[in-house]
Amino acid sequence: MGITLAGALSFMFLAGTATGFMARPALAADHPPQFDVFWEVWDLVDQHFVDQGNIDPMRMTYGAINGMLATLGDDNHTIFFSPEEAEQQESQLDGSFEGIGAFVEGHETGFRIVAPIHGSPAEEAGILAGDIVLKVDGEDIGGIPEWEIISRIRGPAGTSVVLTVLHPNETEPTDITVVRGKIDVESVTWARIPETNYIYLQISQFASDTGDELQKSLEAIDAKVAAGEAIVGGGAGTGISAKLEEAGGIDLIVIYNSGRFRMAGRGSLAGMMPYGDANAIVMDMAREVLPVVRRTPVLAGVCGTDPFRTMPEFLREVAAAGFSGVQNFPTVGLIDGVFRQNLEET
């Protein structure tokens, strides 16, 4: 949806810019009257803005689109991608690209490394989870759009890039040279939890081959634990994750809103807590997940200690929504006399 949306909106808004620096496209006679004030402001900027050299019609157009979508309050599902961002997203969905190999996110002081991909050039060079990237090849990246930073870090396999990073709990930045490589992202991984009958299956991202990878992983799991007839469950927070899990033959799906708070790499049972109003968020995610699941039982991750709800009444709402059952908090538990963390890691 995001890539298609980007192409459609880009054409609609930019079609008229070829005839002049600030020329506008002709509007249909029945165009919404709300566009009148938009073009009035556009013309005022064109005619009276004091620093004409800073006027960039394309940036203004993208800004207007992003502002429009921001009013919908649906940042997780309704997103506009510029052509450059759309190209990056498409390469990510392919499951293969050339670069350093790391999951990243924007940060107020720079650019954060969420985690280097296992076995990637980034991991081999010493890039750590939680690193803040301050410079790329000696140039500050403050204020630069996220897609442009990613473009600077990516590059042909065999070439190098110098990242100036600030490691967690350190005060002085470090220059790290990373030799780029071809990155094949394994989007589905799994492992048996030692000394238990549980399997932990993780979907790190959704790529074009995630469904096939999930199917292979589940078949391997089923073969591995066939004698014990283990039940394979998976967490879902979006419609696409639920559809992929069901297509892979998963036994049950859980919608939950809990996980580990960021704790600078320090593990603790105290880090396992519900995020925000966990029960409200679970019910919100249910509106996307439940309609697309055809035959697999879906459980609600209910925060049973919620002080703001009467549990019997809330559980009736859960059942009415279409859930097959519940998975209760707390997110830590006593199993066989030993405290064990629950399986989810958000």
pLDDT per residue of the chain (346 residues) written in tens, 0 to 9: 333 233 333 333 333 333 334 555 555 556 677 788 888 888 898 888 888 888 888 888 888 888 888 888 876 677 787 777 776 666 655 566 788 988 787 777 668 888 787 778 998 999 988 899 999 999 988 878 777 888 889 888 999 999 999 998 888 999 999 999 988 766 666 666 666 666 666 666 566 666 676 677 677 667 766 666 566 778 887 888 888 888 877 878 888 765 444 444 444 554 555 556 778 888 888 888 888 888 788 888 887 777 778 888 888 888 888 887 787 654 444 344 444 444 433 3
pTM of the model: 0.42
**Do 58 and 12 fall into the same domain?**
yes
Whether 88 is in a domain gets the answer: no
Q: How far apart are CA 126 and CA 179, in angstroms?
A: 12
**Do 205 and 276 fall into the same domain?**
yes
**Do 140 and 277 fall into the same domain?**
no
Among candidate residues 144, 169, 184, the one where a domain is terminated: 184
Fill in the DSSP letter of residue 331: S
What CATH number should be reported for the domain holding residue 127? 2.30.42.10
**Do 105 and 218 fall into the same domain?**
no
* φ/ψ of residue 330, rounded to 5: -75, 170
What domain range is 28 assigned to? 2-81
Work out how many domains the chain is built from and give that number: 3
Residue 158, pLDDT score: 92
What CATH number should be reported for the domain holding residue 256? 3.20.20
The answer, yes or no, to whether the previous bond of 32 is cis (omega within 30 of 0) is: no
**Do 264 and 134 fall into the same domain?**
no
Whether 294 is in a domain gets the answer: yes
Distances (CA, A) of 287 to 244, 254, 284, 292: 17, 14, 6, 9
Q: How far apart are CA 105 and CA 293, in angstroms?
A: 30
Among candidate residues 50, 81, 112, the one where a domain is terminated: 81
**Do 59 and 14 fall into the same domain?**
yes
**Do 62 and 44 fall into the same domain?**
yes
**Do 192 and 320 fall into the same domain?**
yes
Q: How far apart are CA 251 and CA 231, in angstroms?
A: 6
Whether 87 is in a domain gets the answer: no
**Do 109 and 160 fall into the same domain?**
yes
Count CB-CB contacts under 10 A for residue 299. Answer: 19
**Do 150 and 220 fall into the same domain?**
no
Task: Look at residue 139 and give its three-state secondary structure.
Answer: strand
The closest of 233, 246, 257 to 290, measured between CA atoms, is 246
Where are the extended beta strands (E) located within 21-109? 96-99, 102-107
**Do 166 and 152 fall into the same domain?**
yes
Residue 225, pLDDT score: 64
Token pair recorded at residue 197: 């009958």
Whether 129 is in a domain gets the answer: yes
Residue 81, pLDDT score: 76
Burial of residue 185 (CB within 10 Å: 0-12, 13-18, 19+) is buried
**Do 170 and 237 fall into the same domain?**
no
Residue 125, pLDDT score: 93
